[in-house]
């Protein structure tokens, strides 16, 4: 107890402790203000984002009445249909190419000169 009493009566020690306490209080007070400001800014940002989220959600629901899950399901169905259509198109193009190739080969065969002997009926008709 006497040690505590002697520290209180020592003006230099008292002033040093007082300055340390005041400096620490100022530091903590400044940090408290900084945290309060950050909290307020964050709270405002959160409110703004929440309002924007509500606005976009309402807009999305009002756009066509579908939920996000419904829209995703419809998108997946549309993608599957697209894939099937592309597959069918590829198959149709392959069949078309095969048909063109066959027609081309028939046309080429029809254009080849024929070196066979004329039939007798054809010879008699042209002689008259």
Using DSSP's 3-state secondary structure scheme, residue 66 falls into coil
At which residue do the structure tokens 């400001």 appear?
37
* pTM (whole model) above 0.95: no
Alpha-carbon torsion (114, 119, 125, 128), positive or negative: positive
In this prediction, residues 75-91 reach a mean pLDDT of 92
- Residue 4 and residue 14: Cα distance in Å, rounded? 11
Q: What is the pLDDT of residues 36-65, one digit of tens each?
A: 999 999 999 999 999 999 999 888 777 777
Nearest in space to 83 (alpha carbons), one of 91, 72, 98, 66: 91
pLDDT, averaged across the chain: 82
- Residue 35 and residue 41: Cα distance in Å, rounded? 10
């Amino acid at each position: 107890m006497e040690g505590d009493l002697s520290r209180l009566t020592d003006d230099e020690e008292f002033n040093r402790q007082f300055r340390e306490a005041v400096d620490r209080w100022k530091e903590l007070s400044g940090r408290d203000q900084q945290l309060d400001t950050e909290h307020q800014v964050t709270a405002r940002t959160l409110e703004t984002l929440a309002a924007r989220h509500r606005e976009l959600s309402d807009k999305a629901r009002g756009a066509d009445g579908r939920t996000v899950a419904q829209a995703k399901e419809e998108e997946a169905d549309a993608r599957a249909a697209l894939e099937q259509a592309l597959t069918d198109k590829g198959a149709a193009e392959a069949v078309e190419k095969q048909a063109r190739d066959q027609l081309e080969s028939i046309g080429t065969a029809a254009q080849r000169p024929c070196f066979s002997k004329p039939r007798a009926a054809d010879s008699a008709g042209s002689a008259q």
